[in-house]
Amino acid sequence: MSIVVTISRQSPQNGAVDALPRFPIGFAHRGARAQAPENTIEAFRLALTLGASGLESDVWLTADGVPVLDHDGIVRSGGRRRPVADLRRAELPATVPSLAELYRACGTDYELSLDVKDPGAAAQVVQEAIAVDAGNRLWLCHPDWRQVARWRRLSPQVRLVDSTRLARMSEGPARRAALLADAGVDAVNLHRRDWSPSLVETLHAHGRAAFAWDAQRGPVVARLVAMGVDAVYSDHVEVMMAALAAARAG
């Protein structure tokens, strides 16, 4: 399933939302990790085979400047655990894919959400996505929205995501949404328990998309879709996509 996504970067004074995702994106969290080793090409391929419209991973930069996909950025090398940042690409286990390898293996016909654990990786990630004409399907996520906003200068195409929790919005959701709109940050990604219909409405009123992670069961996905969220993240791709299909049919 190909999801056409265009996000309005209008200021909150400019009017209604008219350019959010047409239908919720189904992000496979670390690939189809419930059925294959997470963050591997096998898991990403399987997720797409199962119908995922988006893939999710974490990205780090190696010592020689290669963006690679791994959850915690610590790998076994030479019999001990070492940070990805201390190793060259050739020193990493073969199971840890680079971003370029993901694109070569899986193409670009999906949304790609990357949790940028190493902020220094952002520029190279954007460059590689644009090189394969996938810049407008790349979502860069980080828990510091000001850091995310700084990445807007890298490209007008890339999608930017404030990954946080409701309790951390000290200024309140409406003010945060307005700040994000002014800064060109496209979406907010919250835990599924943080979302409510009114919160989704607040984000949409400012032209920002609402993403929900940890949607592991069909009824949870259905409830989030009913609230109006624009994307969900799940380990269980078949369950997620079945629930999205049912919501769309209904």
Burial 120-135 (b: 16+ CB within 10 A, else e): ebbbbbbebbbeeebb
What are φ and ψ of residue 81, in 5° steps?
-90, 130
Q: Does domain 12-59+99-249 have CATH number 3.20.20.190?
A: yes
Per-residue pLDDT reduced to its tens digit, 73-88 = 999 877 789 999 999 9
Q: Cα–Cα distance between 12 and 178 in angstroms, integer?
A: 6
Per-residue pLDDT reduced to its tens digit, 77-119 = 777 899 999 999 999 999 999 999 999 999 999 999 999 999 9
> Please, where are the H alpha helices in 114-216?
122-131, 145-150, 173-183, 197-205
Alpha-carbon distances, residue 54 vs 169, 176, 182 (angstroms): 27, 26, 26
What mean pLDDT comes out for the span 195-210?
A: 97
pTM to 2 decimal places: 0.92
Q: pLDDT tier at 127 (50, 70, 90 boundaries)?
A: very high
Alpha-carbon distances, residue 141 vs 4, 95, 105 (angstroms): 19, 23, 23
